[in-house]
Chains A and B, each alone.
Chain A
């Protein structure tokens, strides 16, 4: 009598465990089915932000500890390798030029009439006192080349539904081994980004304040960058005009163009 009672309890327990496992599995499958593939998402983001060539006019507002500064520049960018920028205002910075060829960077200062190659520790200096270093500016923009992505959840940024993507470096030589971006579910543009140190400390953040459709692609045209370790209001990048995939004369990306 006692034995048959024990058998019944064991049978019922087994059924319960089996059902619980089926439930968990089902829930998990549904969860994964609801989240898109992180790699695909990242590639969509890259498609939006990376172009064969770009000619952009940018306004940079640097919020310092005491005062704000506004700079304007025009940049010619070809892929990841070549870029040329010229500052057009204020008068103090007017004529300052920068040329990036591969992993090398030169600047030309009209006041001293000298071209300087930025290397070593100078690459870690901030660009015109902004929250971005020369290194940050020289980084490869194509995230999918450097990071593997997993979707960590969804969130709302500035009223837009976003996927939260956790990025892990594919290579050991990346400046930021971990990143997190909030990707607009419809437009596939990053509305928010965070870059972390190896220890997990938040180093830099990015928030897109405005998204526009330019030449058929969604682009963040007003971005606030912030060095999270220092005080200050960060640096705003405002794209005033942008043209994509147009022909840029070859001589623009030569050292001679710095003095022109």
Chain B
């Protein structure tokens, strides 16, 4: 009965209802789209990092700290037996990191020389190009590093490093390939060369700085080398996306505020214009709170209609967007998130449901607030069109 009355009233409001529903539906679609972008960002960056840098987790040399460049100098050592067995079974790959200096076009560029087994299959990196047997040391660079140094495939450049005794050595390296990667940490400031070559160059046979497990291998305890699982390794990227998401919430709040303002205004106007109707309903036997509920229901129905309208045009729109993705500019690269050139939004059921619940609850509350005024109306005053 009440629902029927509320629907009739909404229908009677005509264009006002249409406008309210349209604005609210836009807020629905925009909020879900934005959240989808952040979720896509999180998943895309995490997947890229797992594929190309973290694998199924990493064992670190006890002195290695990726946030402290000074730690690279002392963080090389022989692999513990258990970890070494993973490497021998090709379930893990060892990486040796050494500080070095590159001299592209006579400029000085501090780099981290990274030794990796060219036969490894743990990380999705084109390191098999390092198998080339040449008088020069074969080297692989990322596109960002190549751009910074002004180097391209086939170029030769001088690399200087120190061996384990601190003695300087310098040789020419040849860039055998420039790899395209979304993961900055394997690109910026990195020069990838064959592991055995780097071990030989630095007099560090069988030594490494970290070991990356493949994604199907479960770790075993190691006394000295610390294991860092993928959750731990991805924590930074999750937090970074969360920070971006909080920034994006400002936009949700503005959108929701605009929609709620429209609903609130509509409710206030309805109560003002429909005083005689309210008085009649009370005179016919409806209690004050029943009338409050009726007006609140009318407001809440805006939200439900908006959700339906949003589904009609929003679902196809969001699906197309999720399939084709969003073109990103180079500026995104500087954000420190490994995204590449295309961002594909990801919409989860939980996220959509949570958005619907939040918006509907807010609409209901906003509809209820001005309706409380009705509870103060006397039926006689209302019938005369007087205000409370």
Q: Is the CB of A229 within 8 A of B99?
A: no
Which residues of chain B from 178 to 228 have any CB-CB distance to chain A below 8 Å in the complex? none
- Chain B residues in 8 Å Cβ range of A169: 167
Q: Is the CB of B70 within 8 A of A119?
A: yes
The CB with the most chain B CB atoms within 10 A, among A119, A173, A176, is that of A173
Are A231 and B165 also in contact (CB < 8 A) when A197-B160, A203-B170 are? no
- The complex places the Cα of A199 from the Cα of B105 at a distance, in Å, of 21
Chain B residue at minimal CB-CB distance from A171: B165
Assess whether A120 is interfacial by the CB under 8 Å rule.
yes
- Chain A residues in 8 Å Cβ range of B163: 198
30 A-B pairs with C-beta separation under 8 A: A121-B69, A121-B70, A121-B73, A121-B110, A169-B167, A172-B167, A173-B167, A174-B167, A175-B162, A176-B168, A197-B168, A197-B171, A198-B163, A198-B167, A198-B168, A199-B169, A199-B170, A201-B158, A201-B169, A201-B170, A203-B160, A203-B168, A227-B108, A229-B103, A229-B170, A230-B103, A230-B106, A230-B107, A230-B108, A232-B106
Assess whether A95 is interfacial by the CB under 8 Å rule.
no
- Chain B residues in 8 Å Cβ range of A203: 160, 168, 170
Residue interface mask B292-330, A partner, CB < 8 A = 1: 000000000000000000000000000000000000000
- Chain A residues in 8 Å Cβ range of B99: 121, 124
Q: How many residues of B contact A (CB 8 A)?
A: 23
- Chain B residues in 8 Å Cβ range of A197: 160, 168-171
Q: Is the CB of A231 within 8 A of B158?
A: no
Which residues of chain B from 88 to 121 have any CB-CB distance to chain A below 8 Å in the complex? 99, 101, 103, 105-108, 110
B269 CB to nearest A CB, Å: 62
- The complex places the Cα of A248 from the Cα of B218 at a distance, in Å, of 64
Q: Is the CB of B103 within 8 A of A173?
A: no
Q: Is the CB of A201 within 8 A of B171?
A: yes
Are A175 and B168 also in contact (CB < 8 A) when A124-B101, A201-B158, A229-B103 are? yes
Residue interface mask B148-173, A partner, CB < 8 A = 1: 00000000001010110111111100
Q: Is the CB of B166 within 8 A of A173?
A: yes
- The complex places the Cα of A173 from the Cα of B165 at a distance, in Å, of 5
Q: Is the CB of A231 within 8 A of B72?
A: no
Which residues of chain A from 100 to 122 have any CB-CB distance to chain B below 8 Å in the complex? 119-122
- The complex places the Cα of A65 from the Cα of B110 at a distance, in Å, of 18
Residue interface mask A194-229, B partner, CB < 8 A = 1: 000111010100000000000000000000000101
- Chain B residues in 8 Å Cβ range of A232: 106
Contact of A198 among B70, B101, B158, B169 (CB under 8 A): B169
Binding site for B on A (CB under 8 A): 65, 119-122, 124, 126, 169, 172-177, 197-199, 201, 203, 227, 229-232
The CB with the most chain B CB atoms within 10 A, among A122, A174, A229, A231, is that of A229
- The complex places the Cα of A182 from the Cα of B152 at a distance, in Å, of 40
A62 CB to nearest B CB, Å: 13
Residue interface mask B350-384, A partner, CB < 8 A = 1: 00000000000000000000000000000000000
B194 CB to nearest A CB, Å: 17
Residue interface mask B118-150, A partner, CB < 8 A = 1: 000000000000000000000000000000000
The CB with the most chain A CB atoms within 10 A, among B101, B165, B166, B167, is that of B167
Q: Is the CB of B168 within 8 A of A121?
A: no
A149 CB to nearest B CB, Å: 18
- The complex places the Cα of A120 from the Cα of B107 at a distance, in Å, of 22
- Chain B residues in 8 Å Cβ range of A126: 108
- Chain A residues in 8 Å Cβ range of B169: 197-199, 201
B56 CB to nearest A CB, Å: 30
Contact of B165 among A119, A172, A201, A230 (CB under 8 A): A172
- Chain B residues in 8 Å Cβ range of A176: 167-168
A205 CB to nearest B CB, Å: 14
The CB with the most chain B CB atoms within 10 A, among A65, A175, A230, is that of A230
- Chain B residues in 8 Å Cβ range of A119: 70
Chain B residue at minimal CB-CB distance from A169: B167
List 4 tightest A-B contacts by C-beta distance, closest first: A231-B106, A120-B70, A198-B169, A197-B170
A122 CB to nearest B CB, Å: 8
Chain A residue at minimal CB-CB distance from B168: A197
20 additional contacts (CB under 8 A) given A174-B166, A198-B167: A65-B107, A120-B69, A121-B73, A124-B99, A124-B101, A172-B165, A175-B167, A175-B168, A176-B168, A197-B169, A197-B171, A199-B169, A201-B170, A203-B160, A203-B170, A229-B108, A229-B170, A230-B103, A230-B106, A231-B106
- Chain B residues in 8 Å Cβ range of A174: 166-167
- The complex places the Cα of A78 from the Cα of B368 at a distance, in Å, of 85
- The complex places the Cα of A172 from the Cα of B69 at a distance, in Å, of 25
- The complex places the Cα of A225 from the Cα of B250 at a distance, in Å, of 57
The CB with the most chain B CB atoms within 10 A, among A120, A173, A174, is that of A120
- The complex places the Cα of A119 from the Cα of B105 at a distance, in Å, of 28
- The complex places the Cα of A199 from the Cα of B201 at a distance, in Å, of 10
Are A177 and B103 also in contact (CB < 8 A) when A121-B70, A121-B73 are? no
B257 CB to nearest A CB, Å: 45
- The complex places the Cα of A46 from the Cα of B44 at a distance, in Å, of 63
Chain B residue at minimal CB-CB distance from A123: B73
Q: Is the CB of B73 within 8 A of A229?
A: no
Chain B residue at minimal CB-CB distance from A201: B170
Are A231 and B168 also in contact (CB < 8 A) when A119-B70, A121-B73, A197-B160 are? no
Residue interface mask B66-86, A partner, CB < 8 A = 1: 000110110000000000000
